[in-house]
Amino acid sequence: MDTEFDLAVLTHQPTFDTALTTSEPPESSSIELSPSGRRRRRTRPRSQTIAMKRVSRAERAAFAELYPIEDVANVPRPITRDQCRDHSGPCPWVACKHHLYLDINPLTGSIKLNLPDLEPWELPQTCALDVAEQGALTLEQVGEITNLTRERVRQLEAVGLSKLGTTAQRFGLR
C-alpha cells in the first residue's frame, strides 16, 4: 500500500486534490488598481478540476468510507425553487446544479471546484438562483462570484444571448 494513501486514511483527507482540504483564509478579492492605473492580476486561485479517471479505486473507497451516502440519503432534498427559497444560510446541497461551489460534468464525471480556496460554508453566495434574484450585476461582480475574469463572463454572456436569439427565431418570437 502507498504511504501517501496510508497517511490520507489516517488523517481523513483525500489525496486526489489538496483543494478539498481546509486552506488558509482567502485574501481580499476586491479589484485593485496598480500605480499605472491597470488592473492587477487575480487574487484568487483558478478553479481546479478533479478528473475521476485519475482517482484510484483505493482513494474512492477511502472517500466513500469517510463520507457515506447513507448519512444524507434519507434527508429530503428540495425539488422546486419554492422549497429551497426560504432556506437560511449556505445551501447544503453542493451537488445541486445551481450551487456555486462546484460543477459536475455529466459526460466525464469530472468535478470542477470553482472556488478551491474556500469551503462551501465560507462562500458569500452559494446559489446561482439567489444571485439571479438580486437583479442586474456588473461583469466584475459576476466574475467575483463565479471566480471568472470579466472578459470570460462577457464571452459567456455573448454565447448565451446568441443561443437565446437563435431559439427565439426558431419559434418565431423575434
Give the pLDDT confidence of 121-145 residue by residue, as tens digits. 898 888 888 888 889 999 999 999 9
pLDDT class of 160 with cuts at 50, 70, 90:
very high
My answer on whether 43 and 66 are in the same domain is yes
Neighbours of 13 (CB within 10 A): 15
My answer on whether 140 and 117 are in the same domain is no
Any idea of the CA torsion for 33, 36, 38, 44, to the nearest 10 degrees? -50
Reported as a single tens digit per residue, the pLDDT across 34-46 is 666 666 665 778 8
Q: Is residue 79 part of a domain?
A: no
Task: Tell me the residue ranges of DSSP E strands in 45-84.
Answer: 48-50
My answer on whether 142 and 118 are in the same domain is no
My answer on whether 103 and 157 are in the same domain is no
pLDDT, position 95: 80
My answer on whether 62 and 143 are in the same domain is no
Q: Is residue 11 part of a domain?
A: yes
Q: Taking all residues of the chain, what is their mean pLDDT, rounded to a whole number?
A: 78
The number of folded domains in the chain is 2
pLDDT, position 34: 62
My answer on whether 145 and 64 are in the same domain is no
Q: Is 115 exposed, middle or buried (0-12, 13-18, 19+ CB in 10 A)?
A: buried
pLDDT, position 31: 54
Strands 111-113 and 102-104: antiparallel
Q: Is residue 118 part of a domain?
A: yes
Q: Is residue 85 part of a domain?
A: no
My answer on whether 102 and 167 are in the same domain is no
Residue span of the structural domain in which 96 resides: 1-22+39-70+91-125
Kindly tell me if the per-residue pLDDT of 155 is higher than 90.
yes
Quick one: average pLDDT of 3-31?
Answer: 41
Kindly tell me if the per-residue pLDDT of 17 is higher than 90.
no
Reported as a single tens digit per residue, the pLDDT across 44-85 is 788 888 888 888 889 888 888 887 777 667 778 787 888 888
pLDDT class of 24 with cuts at 50, 70, 90:
very low
My answer on whether 62 and 105 are in the same domain is yes
Answer yes or no: are the C-beta atoms of 103 and 114 closer than 8 Å: yes
My answer on whether 44 and 111 are in the same domain is yes
Kindly tell me if the per-residue pLDDT of 99 is higher than 70.
yes
Q: Which three cell numbers stand for residue 154?
A: 462577457
My answer on whether 95 and 143 are in the same domain is no
pLDDT, position 85: 81
My answer on whether 5 and 60 are in the same domain is yes
My answer on whether 101 and 166 are in the same domain is no
Nearest 5°: CA angle at 128, between 108 and 89?
A: 110
pLDDT, position 173: 87
**Amino acid at the residue 75:** V
Query: What φ, ψ does residue 144 adopt, rounded to 5°?
Result: -70, -40
